[in-house]
Amino acid sequence: MGPLVPDLIGNELNYVVALIIGIAFGFILEQAGFSTSKKLVGLFYGYDFTVLRVFFTAGVTAMIGVVALDHFGLLDVSLILINPTFLWSAIVGGIIMGLGFIIGGFCPGTSICGAAIGKIDAMIFIIGSFLGVLVFAEGYPLFENLYKAANWGNVRIFDTLGMSQSLFAFLLIITAAGAFWLVTYIEQKINGRPNPELQPARLYIGITAVAVIIAFSAFLMPDRKEHLLKRISDKQFVSAYSIKMMTADELAFRLIDEDRTIQIFDFRSQKEFDSLSLPSSIKYEPVNLFDKNIVKLMSVRRMKNIFIAEDEFSARKAAVLASELGYSEIYVLSGGMSQFKKDILGFKIPEGNPNRRMNDTDVFRVKAARLLPVLIKEYKSKQAPVEKKSSKRRLAGC
Amino acid sequence: MNKGNKYMNPYLAGFLLGLTLLTSIYITGRGLGASGAVKSTVVASVETVAPSHAGNAKFYKEYAEEHPGNPMKNWLVFEVIGAIAGAFISGLISNRLKFTLEKPSDIKTKTRIWGALIGGALFGFGAQFGRGCTSGAALSGMAVLSTGGLITMAAIFGSAYAFAYFFRKLWL
């Protein structure tokens, strides 16, 4: 599951990746004609809309890719860099950059491409951008308030607008297609002839139609996450699902034995977890099962993943979700923690027949009720309860 | 590849650029950028030329906190080095390598130089507020549907259109 950094690709190798991606980036920008300011400002005077075409196509392509990878569970979007939103700073910065664009004829990425093929104006633009950054850095105390005002966090546009991701993606695709059509029309009016590069028109109408159909189909695809969460809310489905069980006695035995081949996923509330947590248990929410950092944890060889909750059914729900997500070696504590507490931790020899000889189970439970609380206490004092390991979202970089 | 000076079809170029951006997000968890490398270079230069100043001024201190280690050992710096190489290769293949100061024919060289310098300075300055430029904030922001990125994108292009009329003498 992506992103591959830092688990599959180390931080050092990541620099090599950066170099390769950079080469592709620079190559494509130059091939598209972004190394000349004439083509870039054509966008603002209506004679050449190459920039809009390239930019919108690239943005939409990558956006669809991110949505699709997320949809099929191949990319953990909670780990990728979502540019943070600082409302006023974003607006003011954009306005200043727009002014810089129309005066300078480049933006930082395109000036680099221009300079690489020998454009002196692009090199001067780069020198200017160094100065601009320096001015900001030196005057930072003056700008800091504005820079840090209205921090909305790593919000995404569809949440801000209160619509679904697919609806926004759909609207964006339609907007792009509309813009492509409109700018071709404007270009034709201003230049007095159709753009010779973009013929035959039929081809483009065809491609647009395909894009629109794909956009429509986005509505029909249910989100995998929502779909799975809906499935496990179906009681019958969860009850009928085949899941391996583990009895309270077995779990107690393994704990006393300090079995290293088990790890416990605790799906109870934080409060319950804080008041009593079993050795080597980790607090989890069912939705955490979608996270990327759990992949490693759940795939340790010969490790039994034991799901516990206060009642058996809640743990079962999480276990069904985990097996639907493709994880194996999952066991559910039968009877839940409530039974574990009753049968093991608070075990009382059944009353009634005082002459009844204790059977093996009773002997074990008496022993367990004596040993386990010690282990639990020891474990708690030895180390702070294992916090759920969470990978951090990439921080802003540009 | 293309013969002579012909440019790639813009939709094809956009599609390939989108795939590059997507690959970057899938592998590294982040999109493309350019102005971040300029920022790293400025920080590294100041730290070299005036280390005591860099140790005191707030901007450099905050930068050092957020990016421990050498400021040039930064993902975007490597990416931009790659971009220079990539653009150079493209220019070589398409026969576009040439030292030239490009400008509309009836505009003075001096005007174009000042325009490029001032425009660059404004862009570099604005990119700090925008937390990224056209690539880092607008394009990558669009790919991940970041609210801030899309606002910055709208502001960049909106403002350029709004000011275009006043600077038409520079281009037309």
Cα Dmax for chain A = 108
pLDDT in tens, B48-64: 999 999 888 999 999 98
The β-bridge partners of A153 are: A85
Asked whether the predicted pLDDT for residue A385 surpasses 90, the reply is no
In B, which residues are within 8 Å of A32 by CB distance?
7-8, 10, 13-14, 17
Cβ(A50)–Cβ(B10) below 8 Å: yes
For A331, the enclosing helix (H) or strand (E) is strand A330-333
Asked whether the predicted pLDDT for residue A7 surpasses 80, the reply is no
Chain A contacts in chain B segment 25-64 (CB below 8 A): 25-36, 38-39, 41-43, 46, 57-60
Cβ contact, residue pair A62, B94, below 8 Å: no
Cβ contact, residue pair B120, A58, below 8 Å: no
pLDDT in tens, A176-233: 988 988 998 888 888 888 777 666 777 777 777 777 777 676 666 666 777 888 888 8
User: Strand A304-308 vs strand A330-333: parallel, antiparallel, or unpaired?
Assistant: parallel
In the Cβ-directed half-sphere of A193, how many Cα atoms lie within 13 Å?
4
Cβ contact, residue pair B124, A131, below 8 Å: yes
Instruction: Indicate if the alpha-carbon torsion angle B68, A136, B33, A149 is positive or negative.
Output: positive
Q: How many CB pairs under 8 A join A and B?
A: 571
Residue type, A245: M
Task: Please tell me if residue B107 touches chain A, with a CB cutoff of 8 Å.
Answer: no
The β-bridge partners of A264 are: A281, A306
DSSP letters for A334-353: TTHHHHHIIIIIT-----S-
The β-bridge partners of A2 are: A75
In A, which residues are within 8 Å of B145 by CB distance?
63, 66, 156-158, 165, 168-169
Residue type, A308: I
Cβ(B17)–Cβ(A28) below 8 Å: yes
Per domain, the residue ranges of chain A are 11-223, 230-382
The β-bridge partners of A262 are: A304
ipTM of the prediction: 0.95
Mean pLDDT is lowest, of A237-241, B151-155, B161-165, for: A237-241
Cβ contact, residue pair B30, A394, below 8 Å: yes
Strand, helix or coil for residue B32: coil
Q: Check residue A397 and give its pLDDT.
A: 47
**Ranges of H-type helices in A221-311:** 224-232, 235-240, 248-256, 270-275, 293-298
Cβ contact, residue pair B124, A132, below 8 Å: yes
Q: How far apart are the first and last CA of chain B?
A: 31
- Chain centroid to CA A367: 46
Q: Check residue A396 and give its pLDDT.
A: 47
Q: From CA B74, how far away is CA B51, in angstroms rounded?
A: 19
Cβ(A263)–Cβ(A306) below 8 Å: yes
Q: From CA B90, how far away is CA A117, in angstroms rounded?
A: 9
pLDDT in tens, A236-258: 888 888 889 999 889 988 988 88
Rounded to the nearest angstrom, the minimum Cα separation between B13 and chain A is 6
Q: Check residue A134 and give its pLDDT.
A: 95
Peptide bond into A3 cis (omega under 30): yes
Q: If you average pLDDT over each of A114-123, A152-161, A265-274, B96-105, which comes out highest? A: A114-123
Residue A326, exposed/middle/buried by CB under 10 A (0-12, 13-18, 19+)?
exposed
Peptide bond into B71 cis (omega under 30): no
Q: From CA A304, how far away is CA A329, in angstroms rounded?
A: 5
Q: Does domain A230-382 have CATH number 3.40.50.970?
A: no
Helical packing angle, B75-93 and A11-32, nearest 10°: 40
Cβ(B80)–Cβ(A18) below 8 Å: no
Cβ atoms < 10 Å from Cβ of B145? 24
The β-bridge partners of A282 are: A265
Q: From CA B156, how far away is CA A103, in angstroms rounded?
A: 13
Asked whether the predicted pLDDT for residue A353 surpasses 80, the reply is no
Q: What is the pTM for the complete model shown? A: 0.79
Cβ(A157)–Cβ(A51) below 8 Å: no
Q: From CA A48, how far away is CA B39, in angstroms rounded?
A: 31
Residue A113 makes CB contacts below 8 A (sequence gap 6+) with: A26, A29, A30, A34, A35, A122, B83, B87, B90
Cβ(B153)–Cβ(B141) below 8 Å: yes
Residue A55 makes CB contacts below 8 A (sequence gap 6+) with: B14, B134, B138, B139
pLDDT in tens, B8-45: 999 999 999 999 999 999 999 999 999 999 999 999 99
Rounded (5°) CA angle A357-A361-A367: 95
Residue A88 makes CB contacts below 8 A (sequence gap 6+) with: A146, A149, A150
Residue type, A76: D
DSSP letters for A117-128: TTBHHHHHHHHH
Strand, helix or coil for residue B112: helix
Instruction: Tell me the average pLDDT across A77-81.
Output: 88
Residue A233, exposed/middle/buried by CB under 10 A (0-12, 13-18, 19+)?
exposed
For A323, the enclosing helix (H) or strand (E) is helix A312-324
Q: Give the residue among B40, B167, B14, B58 at the shortest CA–CA distance from A108.
A: B40
